[in-house]
Amino acid sequence: MEDVQKSQASIAMPIDRVGVKGLRLPIVVRDRESGTQHTVAEVSLSVDLPAQFKGTHMSRFIEALEHWEHALDYNSFRTLLDDVAERLQARNAHVRFEFPYFLRRRSPVSGANGMMDYACRVDGYLKDGRLTFTLGADVPVMTVCPCSKAISDEGAHSQRAEVRIRTRFDGFVWLEDLIEIAERAGSCQVYSLLKREDEKYVTETAFANPTFVEDVVRETAKGLSEHPKIKWFKVEVESFESIHNHSAFAVIESQPA
């Protein structure tokens, strides 16, 4: 049968990335407490396309996933990227997995257990045989505005913020490490289950530790920079303001190692 994808492109222009996204796949990730955790990822895969080719072979991305072992770690990720590049005859390949990661959190006073989910992601970019591997987590925290607290006779405005971490590292880093660094940076940790005594604790703890979005991003960056294995990071904090019709945000990116 005719291979139309390999025919001459009418516009001879290289494409940086072409591929598929929105795929859902069961995967296994490493869990510090239990060893492994089963979850579901949304996957995107892409490659570069030289100027002379009309198109890429989309079915080969799916074939690569079907032959992959579904256990998400550095070595298996490298294997998947190598396979994608080989099947598509590409110099560069990119794979992204976005998935919920679950941790059971104990409420601070009552000790009641509740499951928290964190949006995590892994990116792999294979360029000329060299793999760049990035691990990330989006972590909710509570913040209380220091300015509002300082100028108000009663109370202060508080809101949920999200700490978005992206890291590169040597060796192995637990997702729990990233999550815990972020949670320590806010006015207080966020929980899924709070009894009245827990809510009292969270409110009082947060109001005793007011934080601007700038404080949260700096504290997170400090924690990441002190991690012995992390060699590069980018952290963005977005505060979903409760008294404004907009968000506040702050970003810190480290220098490449």
Mean pLDDT of 216-231: 97
Overall domain count for the chain: 1
Helix residue ranges per DSSP H, 110-163: 146-151
The pLDDT > 70 percentage for the chain reads: 94
pTM exceeds cut of 0.85: yes
Radius of gyration of the chain (CA): 22
Which residues span the domain enclosing 97? Answer: 15-253
Domain contains 109? yes
pLDDT, residue 211, reads 96
Q: Map residue 103 onto helix, strand or coil.
A: strand
Residues 140-196: tens digit of each pLDDT: 999 999 999 889 888 889 999 999 999 999 999 999 999 999 999 999 999 999 999
Domain contains 6? no
Residues 31-84: tens digit of each pLDDT: 999 999 999 999 999 998 877 877 678 889 999 999 998 899 888 999 999 999
Domain contains 7? no
Cα→Cα distances 37→21, 70, 190, Å: 23, 12, 22
Backbone φ and ψ for 11, nearest 5 degrees, come out as: -115, 110
Average pLDDT, the chain: 91
Domain contains 186? yes
- Using 50, 70 and 90 to split pLDDT, how confident is the model at 9? low
pLDDT, residue 52, reads 80
CATH of the domain at 35: 3.10.270.10
Q: Map residue 208 onto helix, strand or coil.
A: helix
Domain contains 10? no
Which one, of 89, 34, 88, lies nearest residue 62 by Cα? 88
Which residues, other chains included, contact 169 with Cβ-Cβ below 8 Å and sequence gap of 6+? Answer: 135, 227, 229, 230, 231, 232
Domain contains 5? no
The residues facing 19 across adjacent strands are 46
pLDDT, residue 174, reads 96
- What is the rounded distance in angstroms from the CA atom of residue 189 to the CA atom of residue 138? 13
pLDDT, residue 257, reads 62
Q: Are 104 and 111 in contact (CB under 8 A)?
A: no
Mean pLDDT of 10-21: 82
Domain contains 1? no
Amino acid at residue number 146: P
Domain contains 2? no
- Using 50, 70 and 90 to split pLDDT, how confident is the model at 97? very high
